[in-house]
C-alpha cells in the first residue's frame, strides 16, 4: 500500500545528521537518467557520491550506489536491520519505501559520501525522500501525466506537487522541454518558497576525442538521453561553488584542460540498464538473439521510445516490431500503446512477477493488455502468456524475420524480471 506523507519518515530519519549535500530530482520521465549521469560525473570529478533511485533493478539493494557501485547485500542487510529495529521500537509503522529511503540515507552517512543524488519515489511534496534536511540543488525533469490517482488530474496539479521539493535559497534547475504552463507553475512555486535561482539549460558539453564523438553519434536520435546528460552536466556546474576541490567542469567556451577528459569518459561509460538496452536473450531462448529492453511505462515515455524504435529498429521507419508488453495495474494502457504499436506489428502480453519490497505493485492482466491492443488494431496478432515471460520471449523471437525486430517494454518491473532471468540462466 502506498502511504504518502512525511511524519513516519521524519521519525525514522530523526537521528541522522545528514552531513552530506543533497541533490533532489523530481519529474515524470528522465529522473533516473539525470541521477545516473550526475552521480557518474561527480564521482569522476573526485567527489565521493551516493545515489538512491527506485525501483531497484534486480536486487533490492542495487537501487543504492556508492561511487558508482551498488552497495553489498551484507551492508544493506546490516543497515536494514537497524532501521527495522528503530521502526519497531518506536512503533512508527513506516511503509516499505520509507524504510528503504531511511536505509539509503543511513548508508550515505555511514559511507561518508559528500553528495547524495536522490530520486523522488513518487510526486515530491509528500514523498519520503523529501525529508532531506538540507539540499544543495533541486531538479525538475520533463513533466507528464502519471499517478493521477495520487498527484492530481492535470499536468499543472501534478507539477505543483512535484515542486514541493523546493526549499528557500536552494537553486532550481528544470528541463527546457517542459511546456510553458508547466514552467509557469515551476517559477510560481519556487517564488512562493523563495527558492532559486530558477534556470533551464540547453547547453550540451563539448569534449574532444574519438570515443566521445562516436558516443554522441550513436545517441544522435535519443533525445531523452541527451537531455539527461545536458541536465546532469548543468547540475554539476551549479554544484561547483560548493565543491571547490572538484575537477572544474568545462562550461561554454571556457578553455578545456586535459583533466576535464574525466567527464567525457564518465558520460561515455555510464550505464543505464533497461533504457533502450540491447541484450542477448540467448540464455532464455536457446540461441543468440538480440532484442531491445526498455522500461517505458507511460504515454510520454512511449512517445519517446517510438522515436528511438523508428530510427533504430524499424526498416525505413516502417518495418514491423514484435512487442513483448507488460504494464502496471491502473495505468493508461491505450495512451501507452497508441504511440508504439502499428497495425502490422505483433504482440505478446505478459505479467511481471511480485516486486520485492513493493507488495502494493500489481501487474495489469495480460488479457487486459491484449484487449487494449485489439481495441487499437482489431486484426493484429496478439498472444497472451500471463506470467510466462520466458514463453513470451521465445514466441517473440520465433516470429522475428529479416525485417522485424523484438522490443520488450511496458514496465521497469518487466525489465527487472528479464534481467534477473538472464542472470539466473547464466549462473
Q: Residue 1 falls within a domain, yes or no? A: no
3 state DSSP class of 387: coil
Please indicate, yes or no, whether residues 37 and 159 belong to a single structural domain of this protein: yes
Residue 109 per-residue DSSP state:
H
Please indicate, yes or no, whether residues 149 and 252 belong to a single structural domain of this protein: yes
3 state DSSP class of 281: coil
pLDDT in tens, 228-274: 999 999 999 999 999 999 998 876 555 556 667 899 899 999 988 88
Residue 250: what pLDDT? 72
pLDDT in tens, 347-374: 999 999 998 877 888 999 999 999 999 9
Please indicate, yes or no, whether residues 43 and 113 belong to a single structural domain of this protein: yes
Residue 249 per-residue DSSP state:
P
Please indicate, yes or no, whether residues 165 and 265 belong to a single structural domain of this protein: yes
**Position 283 pLDDT exceeds 50:** yes
| pLDDT > 90 in the chain, percent | 67
Work out the average pLDDT over 281-300.
92
Please indicate, yes or no, whether residues 174 and 206 belong to a single structural domain of this protein: yes
**Rounded Cα gap, residues 61 and 66, in angstroms:** 11
**Rounded Cα gap, residues 122 and 117, in angstroms:** 16
C-alpha cell recorded at residue 162? 512535484
290-293: strand order across its sheet: 277-280, 290-293, 405-409, 321-325, 346-349, 382-384
Work out the average pLDDT over 169-191.
94
Provide the CATH number for the domain around residue 142. 3.40.1190.10
Please indicate, yes or no, whether residues 257 and 283 belong to a single structural domain of this protein: no
349 contacts 366 by C-beta, under 8 angstroms: yes
Work out the average pLDDT over 58-65.
94
Confidence of residue 30 (pLDDT cuts 50, 70, 90): confident
Give Cα separations from 77 to 52, 72, 117 (angstroms). 16, 9, 21
Work out the average pLDDT over 14-40.
93
Q: Residue 250 falls within a domain, yes or no? A: yes
Work out the average pLDDT over 199-218.
80
Q: Residue 175 falls within a domain, yes or no? A: yes
Please indicate, yes or no, whether residues 230 and 289 belong to a single structural domain of this protein: no
The gap from C-alpha 158 to its chain's centroid, in whole angstroms, comes to 18
Residue 150: what pLDDT? 57
Average pLDDT, the chain: 90
- Per-residue DSSP letters for 298-358? SHHHHHHHHHHHHHHTSGGGT--EEEEE--BTTS-HHHHHTTT--TT-EEEE----PPTT-
49 contacts 115 by C-beta, under 8 angstroms: yes
Bridge partners (DSSP) of residue 152 are none
Confidence of residue 330 (pLDDT cuts 50, 70, 90): confident
3 state DSSP class of 70: strand
Residue 1: what pLDDT? 45
Provide the CATH number for the domain around residue 284. 3.90.190.20
**Position 7 pLDDT exceeds 50:** yes
Range(s) of the domain holding residue 216: 7-269
**Rounded Cα gap, residues 151 and 146, in angstroms:** 8
C-alpha cell recorded at residue 399? 516470429
**Rounded Cα gap, residues 226 and 204, in angstroms:** 8
Residue 213: what pLDDT? 85
**Position 381 pLDDT exceeds 80:** yes
Please indicate, yes or no, whether residues 109 and 235 belong to a single structural domain of this protein: yes
Please indicate, yes or no, whether residues 300 and 212 belong to a single structural domain of this protein: no
Of residues 317 and 130, the one with the higher pLDDT is 130
Please indicate, yes or no, whether residues 256 and 324 belong to a single structural domain of this protein: no
| Domain endpoint, select from 269, 289, 307 | 269
C-alpha cell recorded at residue 297? 511505462
**Rounded Cα gap, residues 53 and 33, in angstroms:** 10
**Position 403 pLDDT exceeds 80:** no
Please indicate, yes or no, whether residues 84 and 221 belong to a single structural domain of this protein: yes
Using DSSP bridges, classify how beta strands 290-293 and 277-280 pair: parallel, antiparallel or unpaired.
antiparallel
| pLDDT > 70 in the chain, percent | 94
Q: What share of the chain is helix, strand, coil (3-state, %, to 5)?
A: 45, 15, 40
CA dihedral (92, 95, 96, 100) in degrees, to 10, reads: -60
Confidence of residue 54 (pLDDT cuts 50, 70, 90): confident
Confidence of residue 402 (pLDDT cuts 50, 70, 90): confident
| Domain endpoint, select from 242, 269, 296 | 269
Q: Residue 2 falls within a domain, yes or no? A: no
Bridge partners (DSSP) of residue 278 are 292
Nearest partner of 163 among 138, 199, 142, judged by Cα: 138
Q: How many domains are contained in the chain?
A: 2
Please indicate, yes or no, whether residues 364 and 240 belong to a single structural domain of this protein: no
Amino acid at each position: 500500500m502506498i502511504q504518502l506523507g512525511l511524519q513516519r519518515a521524519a521519525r525514522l530519519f530523526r537521528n541522522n545528521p545528514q552531513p552530506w549535500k543533497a541533490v533532489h530530482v523530481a519529474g515524470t520521465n528522465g529522473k533516473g537518467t539525470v541521477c545516473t549521469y550526475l552521480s557518474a560525473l561527480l564521482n569522476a570529478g573526485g567527489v565521493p557520491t551516493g545515489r538512491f533511485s527506485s525501483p531497484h533493478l534486480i536486487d533490492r539493494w542495487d537501487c543504492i550506489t556508492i561511487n558508482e557501485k551498488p552497495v553489498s547485500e551484507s551492508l544493506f542487510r546490516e543497515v536494514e536491520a537497524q532501521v527495522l529495529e528503530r521502526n519497531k521500537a518506536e512503533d512508527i509503522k513506516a511503509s516499505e519505501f520509507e524504510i528503504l529511503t531511511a536505509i539509503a540515507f543511513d548508508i550515505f552517512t555511514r559511507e561518508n559520501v559528500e553528495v547524495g543524488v536522490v530520486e523522488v519515489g513518487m510526486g515530491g511534496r509528500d514523498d519520503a525522500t523529501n525529508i532531506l534536511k538540507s539540499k544543495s540543488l533541486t531538479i525538475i525533469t520533463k513533466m507528464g501525466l502519471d499517478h493521477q490517482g495520487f498527484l492530481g488530474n492535470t499536468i499543472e496539479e501534478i507539477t505543483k506537487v512535484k515542486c514541493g521539493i523546493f526549499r528557500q535559497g536552494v537553486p532550481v534547475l528544470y528541463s527546457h522541454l517542459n511546456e510553458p504552463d508547466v514552467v509557469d507553475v515551476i517559477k510560481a512555486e519556487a517564488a512562493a518558497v523563495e527558492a532559486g535561482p530558477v534556470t533551464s539549460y540547453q547547453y550540451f558539453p563539448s569534449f574532444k576525442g574519438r570515443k566521445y564523438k562516436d558516443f554522441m553519434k550513436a545517441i544522435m536520435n535519443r533525445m531523452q538521453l541527451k537531455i539527461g546528460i545536458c541536465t546532469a552536466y548543468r547540475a554539476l556546474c551549479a554544484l561547483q561553488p560548493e565543491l571547490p576541490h572538484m575537477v572544474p567542469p568545462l562550461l561554454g567556451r571556457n578553455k578545456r584542460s586535459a583533466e576535464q577528459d574525466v567527464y567525457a569518459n564518465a558520460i561515455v561509460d555510464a550505464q543505464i540498464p533497461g533504457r533502450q538496452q540491447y541484450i542477448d536473450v540467448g540464455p532464455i531462448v536457446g540461441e543468440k538473439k538480440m532484442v531491445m529492453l526498455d522500461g517505458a511505462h507511460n504515454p510520454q515515455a512511449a512517445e519517446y521510445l517510438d522515436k528511438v524504435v523508428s530510427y533504430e529498429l524499424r526498416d525505413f521507419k516502417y518495418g514491423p516490431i514484435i512487442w513483448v508488453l507488460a504494464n502496471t495495474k491502473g495505468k493508461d494502457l491505450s495512451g501507452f500503446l497508441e504511440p508504439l504499436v502499428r497495425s502490422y506489428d505483433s504482440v505478446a502480453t505478459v505479467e511481471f512477477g511480485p516486486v520485492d519490497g513493493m507488495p502494493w505493485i500489481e501487474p495489469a492482466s495480460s488479457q487486459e493488455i491484449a484487449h487494449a491492443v485489439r481495441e487499437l488494431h482489431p486484426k493484429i496478432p496478439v498472444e497472451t502468456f500471463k506470467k510466462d515471460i520466458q514463453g513470451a520471449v521465445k514466441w517473440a523471437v520465433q516470429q522475428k524475420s529479416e525485417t522485424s525486430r523484438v522490443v520488450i517494454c511496458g514496465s521497469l518491473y518487466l525489465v527487472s524480471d528479464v534481467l534477473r532471468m538472464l542472470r539466473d540462466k547464466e549462473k
